[in-house]
């Protein structure tokens, strides 16, 4: 019997047919880890109010520690820029492109570490893996305070890059594990708001600490030591709050865990399996989308790393970096709202990219006798930081299969790291403070990104047409709407319209199939 939706909008979620099929057939080690919850709990019914309460509970226990962690990550990564304002180059005797290499080494190491991170995300408990890496980079940042030359700074910056490399891919995996795709948009935005938050509080902290005069520490050393110790102090809280996965979440009852899993059926991406599949690895590198996303992340990263490293040297005053943090938050939240309101991504990402293009053109053309106008252009350029969160969210929503998702995330971060390594190198020391080569490069990269947004949007629409044809050929629903990007109310109303046909959809959601294997998967463009 199909599930019946009551008049009071109560949402009945029944998976008896799915459970019966898996009771009759032997479970395989390739199926989703969360299926054990469904097998133990049995069918569950829940209404929208219970679902909302559960969602708030997940947000508190999972999302809050993610945001804290990524804020610490950005603060520590930006420590070099803060130190540069307080004569880091002079105190450590940096010459030529040595400072630029301090920016690049972080991403060069991350480029090497990412493949190892992909395996860790499948094999290791996620929360414990995160805490281990926080401990590593917190110690490394603290040790930067003891560095008085380029060699010491390079070693410690390399360690910071290695330990921070896995954080963003892990958080993307966690979002895929806990929330529907519509909800992922907001949750990814929330923890990625750590960037403007760090840009807001980081300069204030650095300004305050940098003006503390001691007989034993110069300002840049005080900044590094302070930020490193703050990071280490938060580890116990993050370890206590963050669960490894749905199965091990202490803050959920068995019934609540079953509801969490059932809610994710419409994603058609599963939650997690601990089995590494080489077939999915091969699919990553034969899927054209992989290279499209990779190219987009690389040309986004080239400007971001250059500006991130040299921003402090351009403004020369650390507090000037505060206002654009508020602008970043407003634009990122506005873009996220538009994406979920209109259920379309590629034109919104393209529009956001126009802001830094306009700012970079302004920096090049505005008369330098008017510094206020130059600062306005610089603030518009800083909105580049809104692009990467939107791209990562978009790319990872369009992949399924645990191994494929993890390998794709690693590949995308490798592409980002390649761009991040190149970015600081186009800001030539003899061009300061104008950096014309860097600005021209940034404009070219962002223009290419706008073009790629429309190319990728068209390709994803084509893939959805192919998926509809596959469903129709198999006797399924051809023009199936994507419930994972609907509101709870919209999804409940659409379920009513499916009637008996509703039993035919999303039956492969927890079989660890990839987006190319599962005909029910729908691409978000």
Residues 387 and 352: beta-carbon distance below 8 Å: yes
Residue 61 in this model has a pLDDT that exceeds 50? yes
Which pLDDT score, from 0 to 100, does residue 4 have?
A: 38
- Nearest Cα to 313, choosing from 406, 440, 234, 428? 428
Average pLDDT over residues 65-73: 94
Among 134-148, 156-170, 333-347, 472-486, whose mean pLDDT is lowest? 472-486
Q: How confident is the model at residue 230 (pLDDT cuts 50, 70, 90)?
A: very high
What value does the mean pLDDT take over residues 36-56?
84
DSSP 27: P
Determine how many CB atoms are found less than 10 A away from the CB of residue 58: 21
Task: Check: CB of residue 70 under 8 Å from CB of residue 167.
Answer: yes
Tell me, rounded to whole angstroms, the distance of Cα 154 from its chain centroid.
26
pLDDT at 72 (0 to 100): 93
Q: Is the pLDDT of residue 175 over 60?
A: yes
* pLDDT, position 297: 94
pLDDT digits (tens, 9 = 90+) for 190-219: 888 887 788 788 888 888 888 887 768 888
Q: What is each CA distance from 304 to 81, 169, 385, 463, in whole angstroms?
A: 13, 18, 7, 31
- What's the pLDDT at 21? 35
Three-class SS state of 469: helix
- How far apart CA 422 and CA 408 sit, in angstroms, is 21
pLDDT tops 70 at residue 33: no
User: What was the pLDDT predicted at 458?
Assistant: 96
DSSP assignment of 121-151 equals: HHHS-HHHHHHHHHHHHHHHHHHHTT--SHH
Task: Give the pLDDT band of residue 64 (cuts 50, 70, 90).
Answer: very high
Measured CA to CA in angstroms, residue 353 lies from 27, 347, 379, 384, 456 at distances of 47, 10, 14, 7, 15
290 vs 368: which has the higher pLDDT: 290
Domains and CATH numbers, the chain: 48-267+283-464 (1.20.1250.20)
Cα angle 367, 373, 376 (rounded to 5 degrees) comes to: 140
pLDDT of residue 63: 94
pLDDT (0 to 100) of residue 11: 36
pTM: 0.79
**Tokens standing for 429?**
């020391």
Q: Give the tens place of pLDDT for each residue, 251-286.
A: 999 999 999 888 888 887 777 777 888 999 999 999
pLDDT at 401 over 60: yes
Is pLDDT above 70 for 502?
no
Q: What is the DSSP string of 37-98?
A: HHHHH------HHHHHHHHHHHIIIIIHHHHHHHHHHHHHHTHHHHHHHTTHHHHTT--TTH
Please give the Cα distance from 339 to 182 (Å, whole number).
9
Burial class of residue 74, CB neighbours in 10 A (0-12, 13-18, 19+):
buried
Half-sphere exposure of 323 (CA within 13 A, CB side): 10
Q: What are the backbone angles phi and psi of residue 26, rounded to the nearest 5°? A: -65, 135
Residues listed for the chain = 525
Give the tens place of pLDDT for each residue, 310-365: 555 555 555 566 677 788 888 988 998 999 889 899 999 999 999 999 988 988 88
Torsion of CA 106, 398, 389, 298, to 10 degrees: 40
Distance CA 199, CA 321 (A): 7
Type and span of the H or E element at 336: helix 323-342
Measured CA to CA, the distance from residue 244 to residue 43 in angstroms comes to 24
Residue 19 pLDDT: 34
**Orientation of helix 402-422 relative to helix 278-286, angle to 10°:** 50
Residue 282: per-residue pLDDT? 94
Residue 476, pLDDT above cutoff 80 = no
Query: Highest mean pLDDT range out of 10-24, 142-156, 299-313?
Result: 142-156
* 476, 482 Cβ separation under 8 angstroms: no
Q: Do 200 and 326 contact (CB within 8 A), yes or no?
A: yes
Distance (Å, whole) CA 341 – CA 465: 23
Question: Tell me, what's the pLDDT at 262?
Answer: 85
Min mean pLDDT across 110-119, 168-177, 266-275 is at 266-275
Contact residues for 279 (Cβ-Cβ < 8 A; gap 6+): none
* pLDDT mean across residues, the chain: 82
pLDDT score recorded for residue 13: 36
**Angle of helix 98-123 versus helix 126-144 axis, rounded to 10:** 160
Contact (Cβ atoms closer than 8 angstroms) between residue 396 and residue 312: no
CB 292 within 8 A of CB 412: no
Please state the separation of Cα 409 from the chain's center in Å: 9
The Cα 440–Cα 375 span in angstroms is 18
Angle at 244 between CA 240 and CA 245, to 5 degrees: 130
CB atoms within 10 A of CB 255: 15
Token representation of residue 285: 């590198």
Q: Are the C-beta atoms of residues 265 and 511 closer than 8 Å to each other?
A: no
Contacts for 429 with CB less than 8 Å, ≥ 6 apart? 96, 97, 100
């Amino acid at each position: 019997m199909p599930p019946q939706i009551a008049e009071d909008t109560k949402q009945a979620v029944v998976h008896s047919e799915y459970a019966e099929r898996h009771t009759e057939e032997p479970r395989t080690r390739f199926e989703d880890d969360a299926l054990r919850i469904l097998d133990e709990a049995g069918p569950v019914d829940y209404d929208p109010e219970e679902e909302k309460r559960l969602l708030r509970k997940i947000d508190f226990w999972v999302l809050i520690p993610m945001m804290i962690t990524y804020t610490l990550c950005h603060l520590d990564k930006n420590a070099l820029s803060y130190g540069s304002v307080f004569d880091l180059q002079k105190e450590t005797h940096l010459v030529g492109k040595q400072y630029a290499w301090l920016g690049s080494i972080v991403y060069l190491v991350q480029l090497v570490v990412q493949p190892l991170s992909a395996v860790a995300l499948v094999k290791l408990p996620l929360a414990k893996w995160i805490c281990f890496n926080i401990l590593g980079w917190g110690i490394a940042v603290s040790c930067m305070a003891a560095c008085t030359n380029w060699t010491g700074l390079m070693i410690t910056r390399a360690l910071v890059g290695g330990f921070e490399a896995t954080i963003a891919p892990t958080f993307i995996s966690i979002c895929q594990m806990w929330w529907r795709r519509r909800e992922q948009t907001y949750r990814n935005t929330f923890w990625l708001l750590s960037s403007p938050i760090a840009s807001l509080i980081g300069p204030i902290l650095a300004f305050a600490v940098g003006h503390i005069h001691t007989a034993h520490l110069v300002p840049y050393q005080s900044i590094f030591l302070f930020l490193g110790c703050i990071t280490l102090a938060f580890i116990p809280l993050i370890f206590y709050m963050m669960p490894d996965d749905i199965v091990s979440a202490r803050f959920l009852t068995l019934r609540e865990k079953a509801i969490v899993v059932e809610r994710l059926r419409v994603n058609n991406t599963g939650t997690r399996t601990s089995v590494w599949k080489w077939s999915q690895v091969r699919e990553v590198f034969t899927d054209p989308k992989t290279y499209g996303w990779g190219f987009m992340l690389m040309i986004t990263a080239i400007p971001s790393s250059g500006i991130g490293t040299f921003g402090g040297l351009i403004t020369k005053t650390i507090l000037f970096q505060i206002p654009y943090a508020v602008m970043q938050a407003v634009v990122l939240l506005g873009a996220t709202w538009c994406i979920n309101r209109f259920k379309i991504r590629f034109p919104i990402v393209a529009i956001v990219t126009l802001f830094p293009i306009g700012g970079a053109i302004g920096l090049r053309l505005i008369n330098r006798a008017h510094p206020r106008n130059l600062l306005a252009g610089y603030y518009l350029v800083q909105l580049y930081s809104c692009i990467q969160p939107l791209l990562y969210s978009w790319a990872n929503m369009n992949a399924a299969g645990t191994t494929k998702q993890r390998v794709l995330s690693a590949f995308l971060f490798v592409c980002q790291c390649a761009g991040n390594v190149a970015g600081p190198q186009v800001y030539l020391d003899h061009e300061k403070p104008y950096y014309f080569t860097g600005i021209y490069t940034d404009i070219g990269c962002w223009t290419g990104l706008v073009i790629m947004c429309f190319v990728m949007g068209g390709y994803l629409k084509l893939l959805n047409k192919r998926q509809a044809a596959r469903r129709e050929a198999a006797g399924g629903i051809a023009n199936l709407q994507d419930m994972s990007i609907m509101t709870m109310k919209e999804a409940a109303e659409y379920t009513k319209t499916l009637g008996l046909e509703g039993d035919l959809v999303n039956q492969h959601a927890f079989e660890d199939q990839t987006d190319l294997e599962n005909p029910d998967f729908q691409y978000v463009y």
